Amino acid sequence: MSNVRLATGPDGRRGTSYEFLGQKNSYIQFPNLGKLDTKKSITILAWIYHQGRAGPIFNYHPSAWGVHLWMVGRRALFVRFTKRRTKDFTAALVSRTVKPSRWQYVGASYDHTTGTAKLFVGGRMVARKRIGRIRLATNYPVRMGVRVGDGRYFRGRISCLQVYNVALNTRQIAARAKRCFVPGMLL
């Protein structure tokens, strides 16, 4: 971790999110010794409190492009799945339904069996595209907040990040929305 601080999360409890300051030295990096390498299918979920700056929520390969879930504008959530061997990108999915300065549950999935990518906001699917059957570039460390060499830095808070090696359906995604909350705590 670098230049992030604990903050109040979507459950209203202090210390249940990390605040990213929208600066080049404000990030969290995760090593990837295989547990984050999903290879074929993936679901990435998180609660975000976005404060209007473009930047990575979850970016495989800190100094290049692996699979990446980003905010690319004040309201625009973006995901792109990267091919493992060639590092080529698939078509991006974008939704301009994120509301800044409020907690939102967001996510993305890719299903290798069907070749379908999906984007979620508030537990609801907001974009879907058939991108073909690929192997995912998830065999790198991951960064939240900053990508090396890119001037876009996430500003806001992130809580309850979850990564699965399967493409969860809408019902399963909705069921995981409060997975990190203490029972009885409300938004």
CA distances in angstroms from 141 to 34, 106, 126, listed in the order given: 9, 21, 28
Q: Answer whether residue 17 is part of any domain.
A: no
CA distances in angstroms from 14 to 8, 19, 133, 181, listed in the order given: 4, 11, 42, 12
Region label for 122, one of left (φ > 0), alpha (ψ between -120 and 50) or beta (otherwise): left
Q: How many Å apart are CA 156 and CA 184, to the nearest integer?
A: 25
Q: Answer whether residue 129 is part of any domain.
A: yes
CATH code of 71's domain: 2.60.120.200
Kindly tell me the burial class for residue 31, based on how many C-beta atoms sit within 10 Å of its own C-beta (0-12, 13-18, 19 or more): exposed
Q: Answer whether residue 95 is part of any domain.
A: yes
Count of alpha carbons within 13 Å of 65, Cβ hemisphere only? 14
Q: Under a CB-based contact definition with an 8 Å cutoff, are residues 154 and 53 in contact?
A: yes
SS3 content of the chain, % helix, strand, coil (to 5): 5, 45, 55
Question: What pLDDT, on the 0 to 100 scale, is given for residue 113?
Answer: 97
Q: Answer whether residue 145 is part of any domain.
A: yes
pTM of the predicted protein model: 0.94
Number of domains in the chain: 1
Residue 88 pLDDT more than 90?
A: no
Residue 185 pLDDT more than 70?
A: no
Q: How many residues does the chain have?
A: 187
Give 73's DSSP letter: S
pLDDT in tens, 169-178: 999 999 999 8
Question: What pLDDT, on the 0 to 100 scale, is given for residue 52?
Answer: 83
User: What is the span of the domain harbouring residue 89?
Assistant: 28-175
Question: What pLDDT, on the 0 to 100 scale, is given for residue 86?
Answer: 85
Q: Answer whether residue 47 is part of any domain.
A: yes
